[in-house]
């Protein structure tokens, strides 16, 4: 236990170094053979490798159809939307979204189709006409408080149960102003799904 305690107490920045251990004395015949061999050729100079500059398209991908960022959040415009296996009416329907204003995340685009996911990662290809740019979120935290200000100590305006869909009015770095059921207030982003962690909305 003393060795373990000493290791744990090593000062910050300490490094491990390999320990050199002496080997057996060299054999005389082997030494003579080694001396007769030609010296190994030096290693070739490293070949310079051209490094391409960062591609801004891959750093911040955008949809090939709309030019808008991917992924991005939208909402379901109707109370029924078929999510298909592929971007075509001939493709099999895997899921049916049945809640108007439900937040969805677009992860791909193809012509008039958008591949979307819900908060559980389920979804498929849906026609763009069934989607809206109106931003909504779905509450994850049970009895989530809407507060008068973006402050955990601010007075509560209303309490929302898990699963409630609320409209997004604006977002700061860590808080969003939401509205639901005639009430409006601030809630931390960690309590709901439907906005990016660093997203700011006016």
Q: Domains of the chain by range and CATH? A: 66-134 (2.30.30.40), 137-193 (2.30.30.40)
Instruction: Please tell me the number of Cα atoms within 13 Å of 180 on its side-chain side.
Output: 27
* Rounded Cα–Cα distance for residues 160 and 139 (Å): 7
* Rounded Cα–Cα distance for residues 160 and 73 (Å): 21
What pTM did the predictor assign? Answer: 0.70
Instruction: Please tell me the number of Cα atoms within 13 Å of 87 on its side-chain side.
Output: 10
Residue 31: its H or E element? helix 28-36
Nearest in space to 190 (alpha carbons), one of 154, 171, 182, 179: 171
Q: Are 63 and 36 in contact (CB under 8 A)?
A: no
Q: For residue 194, what is the DSSP state?
A: S
| Over residues 137-150, mean pLDDT | 97
Cis peptide before 71 (omega within 30 of 0): yes
Q: Which comes out higher in pLDDT, residue 120 or 38? A: 120
pLDDT of residue 120: 94
Is a pLDDT exceeding 90 seen at residue 151? yes
């Amino acid at each position: 236990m003393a060795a373990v305690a000493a290791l744990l107490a090593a000062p910050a920045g300490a490094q491990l170094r390999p320990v050199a251990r002496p080997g057996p004395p060299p054999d005389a015949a082997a030494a003579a053979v080694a001396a007769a061999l030609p010296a190994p050729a030096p290693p070739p100079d490293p070949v310079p490798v051209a490094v391409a500059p960062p591609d801004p398209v891959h750093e911040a991908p955008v949809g090939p159809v709309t030019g808008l960022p991917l992924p991005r959040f939208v909402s379901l415009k109707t109370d029924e939307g078929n999510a298909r296996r592929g971007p075509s009416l001939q493709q099999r329907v895997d899921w049916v979204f049945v809640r108007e204003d439900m937040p969805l995340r677009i992860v791909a685009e193809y012509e008039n189709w958008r591949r979307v996911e819900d908060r559980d990662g389920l979804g498929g290809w849906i026609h763009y006409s069934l989607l809206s740019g109106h931003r909504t979120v779905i509450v994850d935290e049970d009895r989530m408080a809407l507060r008068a200000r973006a402050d955990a100590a601010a007075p509560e305006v209303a309490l929302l149960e898990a699963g409630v869909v609320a409209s997004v009015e604006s977002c700061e770095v860590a808080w969003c102003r939401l509205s639901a059921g005639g009430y409006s207030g601030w809630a931390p982003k960690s309590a709901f799904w439907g906005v990016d962690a660093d997203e700011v909305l006016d």
